[in-house]
Structure 1
Amino acid sequence: MHFVWTSTIVTLVSFLVLYFLLNRYAFGPLMSVMEKRRELVLSQLNEAAETRSEAAAYVEQQKEALQQARQEAYEILEQSRQTSGKQADALIAQAKEETARMKDEAIRDIDSEKNKAMAALRGEVGRVSVQIASKLIEKEIDEKANEGLVDQYLKDVGTKS
């Protein structure tokens, strides 16, 4: 092979001119676009990492809020159970008091009616005794007639009541 110096120099000069032109007009803008793209990708990666960490923090926050809500719901249920138990106890106590009051009142009413009946009976017995005595005095008869008269009046008193 034969080596031509002029062709090599022309090729070398052409290459250098082409390199200079490409470096100035093509590689510079191309490298700046690629650098901008690299920075954009890095910023998006950073934003994604931040968003991921914010999402994880938000999830933790939601878990805590859910746990707190469950705890509050449990406390409300427990408080409701206690309140309903107290109300039931109060109603039972009130019913017992009312029952005792009604029983005492009934006993008083029974005693009162019993006393009235006893007083009426005493009055009636006294009246009958007076009537019997007055009849006996009016009729001064023998003992058999006396017993018959008492029996008759007792029968009369029994049919009146």
Structure 2
Amino acid sequence: MIQINLNLVFTIINLLVLYILMKKFLFGPVIRIMDQRKEMIDQQFEEAKKTEDRANQLQKQYENALKSAKEESYQIVEQAKLEAKAQAERTAEEARVQADQLFAKAQADIASEREYAMRQMQGEIGKLAMEAAARIVGSQAGEEQDLSMYDQFIEKAGDPDDNGSC
């Protein structure tokens, strides 16, 4: 049979008291500290997850902004190309208009110079005809007769503008 020794009873009582004291003064605070640490770690994980979610959201926003910036820059480049092409066409058209104006002015100048030269030649031809007629007639009959002879000569020679020759 089991003998219960007084020493054994005291040891069991001591162990029970020690267990109760340890539970109250040691295990309780340690468990509370561990629970607090666990809550703090859980909060940090939650904050880390929130931060990661915000970072992902910001990354998506930045990617969207970058995409729209690329699209906008592409549109700006395309618009600049269209404007440059339109400006080049306007410049070419202005150059054509100026060239046409210069050509028309040059033709007008040529026509007026030709007319002036024809008038001078007619005058010279008229003088020569008058001198030739005066030599043939032998005398100077007068200015009125000279003019009528000049008119007759021009009529017989023909007007250069009538037949289109120069």
- Smaller-chain TM-score bracket: 0.7 to 0.9
Shift of 1:9: 1.6
In structure 2, runs of 5+ residues without a counterpart are 140-166
Using the TM superposition, give the Cα deviation of residue 58 of structure 1 relative to its aligned residue in structure 2, in angstroms.
1.0
1:77-108: CA deviation from partner (whole Å, max 9, x where unpaired): 00000000000000000000000000000000
Unaligned runs of 5+ in 1: 140-161
One-letter identity of the residue aligned with 2:8: T
Corresponding residue number in structure 1 for 2:162: none
- CA shift, 1:5, in A, is 3.3
**Which residue of structure 2 aligns with residue 109 of structure 1?**
109
The answer for the alignment partner of 1:98 in structure 2 is: 98
Q: Aligned runs of 1:9-158 on 2, under 5 Å? A: 9-138=9-138
Partner Cα separation in structure 2 for residue 5 and residue 72 of structure 1: 95
- How far does residue 52 in structure 1 lie from its aligned partner after superposition? 1.1
Q: Distance in 2 between matches of 1:16 and 1:82?
A: 94
Q: Report sequence identity in percent.
A: 29
User: Hey, what's the Cα distance between the residues in 2 that align with 1:39 and 1:104?
Assistant: 95
More helix by share: 1
Q: Separation in 1 of the partners of 2:62 and 2:5?
A: 78
CA displacement at 1:2 relative to structure 2: 5.9
CA distance in 2, matches of 1:129, 1:24: 152
| Counterpart residue type for residue 74 of structure 1 | Y
2:105, 2:3 → 1: CA distance?
A: 142
Deviations 1:43-66 (A, max 9, x none): 111111111111111111111011
TM-score by length of 2: 0.79
State the distance in 2 between where 1:80 and 1:17 align: 91
Superposition RMSD on alpha carbons, in Å?
1.5
